[in-house]
A and B are shown apart, each in its own frame.
Chain A
Amino acid sequence: MTRRATGNEAGSVLLWIMVAGLFAVGSLGAATRLIPTGALFTMQESDTTTAFIAAESGVNYVAYRLKTEGLAALDDLDNPEYVALLEQLFGDWALLGSDRFPATFAVEYDAENDYIIVTGMVAGQSRSLRAKVARPRELPQPEQPSDDSLDETPPVQLPAYREVKLDAAVFAVAGDGANHPAVHLVGGAQAYGAAGTNSRRAEAIKLEGGANIHGNVLVRADSQAEAEAGVSVPDWITLGGSILPLAEEREYPLPEFPAPFTGLPARGSVQTRWDNPVITISEHGHYDSIYAGSGQY
């Protein structure tokens, strides 16, 4: 048995249809606005990647200038006119960037802190990279003792320091009787720069805990696979550089240290202690040992 809808019931159905229709229209309207907005955000993120590539290219450019011209290039980079010229050069050239938008970069030199700041720019997006200028270290030159400081000791002729090029933060030359692992970093130890070894043994370089190497890892090996087998790193640690095979062994000759002074008065040993943490050495003399540490309790 069927019952015909009354006028009120038909109106109720129409009302629901209207509400559903309004909801559908509203949803579509929101979607038409939200989806393009999301797309815009993603495209801006994509442009940020291009800006990063431009900035990293700029760092390569600055490094090239420093390699070819030495530190004198910094004078240019610190010159606002040159910075503007550089920006114009790459801006006009439209060398960098994707096929959608050309990119450029600007260089700024923070002379006070020795930082190069390179900003990559594309389509209104920018990314800045900051690089520290690695200046060659100036070796401390031994001072010739004056006649006053050495009462009765004749002047000593000091040999000049021999400069040793150290291009790795940590390098174990290994060899017979050497420790294994050749390089073993544990806990919070961090090596800033390359680390490597001549050892060809598996896991010759071992990192444990939170230890890391912020540079390339050089392992004496004939192949990439062999080099990688020479490094043991926890899964959750990402090395700062690449693992590279070393085709030949490296040598790091020690500097020639000056010969000890002769004729100095013997002073025995000095060492800090927990109750005497500061010791000032104010007299010249021959000390058997100088110990600075927590000392004996």
Chain B
Amino acid sequence: MTAASVWLVTRLTAPVRTTVRYELQSLAANSAADTVWGIFRANKEAAPGECLPWSDGLPPETEFRYLERIRDSRYYYAFRCLLYKEDENTGDQLYRVRVWLLRKEAGAEAEPFPAEELENPFVFEMLALVGGYAADD
């Protein structure tokens, strides 16, 4: 009876946990993308040095920067960039950027990243223009 109750509760709350996870990831991804665009906007001449060289794999943990606290989670981001090439005449201003997000629980800032986070980080890609695109820039 107890085992059945635990199974039922776990089963029923699984979607809630998934929901919370995606909501937090969504907020963190939005924030990380804004941060990266801001870094590119501030670099008027060339891509920010910290995003080179390109890497498909997870960057070293030491490169992850604290992003922000979202509810009880703390998010860290790292990014890598690769010059976007459409043809031979392509300039050197547009970059394909890959962003990794890792999460820690609040209070565990001094701890290494959890193994499950390192095995399954949230990854997304975007395009960023050196110097930004606003008319005032």
Contact = CB atoms under 8 A, between A and B. Distances in A.
Given A60-B94, A64-B93, A134-B135, A98 B29 contact: yes
Interface in B88-125: 90-91, 93-94, 96, 122-125
A168 B124 contact: no
Interface in B58-79: none
A96 B126 contact: yes
A39 B19 contact: yes
Interface string A43-56: 10110011011101
A70 to B, nearest CB: 12
A97 B12 contact: no
Interface string B1-35: 00000001000110110110011011101100100
A42 B19 contact: yes
A35 interface: yes
A31 B134 CA distance: 47
Interface residues of B, number: 38
Q: Which of A32, A43, A49, A131 has the most CB of B within 10 A?
A: A49
B93 A31 contact: no
A54 to B, nearest CB: 8
A216 B137 CA distance: 8
Contacts of A64: 84, 91, 93-94, 127, 129, 133
State the main secondary structure of chain A at its contact with B.
helix
Contacts of B123: 98-99
A215 B134 contact: yes
B42 to A, nearest CB: 7
A52 B136 contact: no
A287 interface: no
Nearest to B12: A31
A167 interface: yes
A56 B129 CA distance: 11
Interface of A: 28, 31-32, 35-36, 38-39, 42-43, 45-46, 49-50, 52-54, 56-61, 63-64, 67-68, 95-99, 131, 134, 167-169, 193-194, 215-216, 241-242, 244
Interface of B: 8, 12-13, 15-16, 18-19, 22-23, 25-27, 29-30, 33, 37-38, 41-42, 84, 90-91, 93-94, 96, 122-129, 133-137
Nearest 7 A-B pairs (CB), nearest first? A63-B133, A194-B136, A57-B127, A134-B135, A46-B26, A215-B136, A64-B94
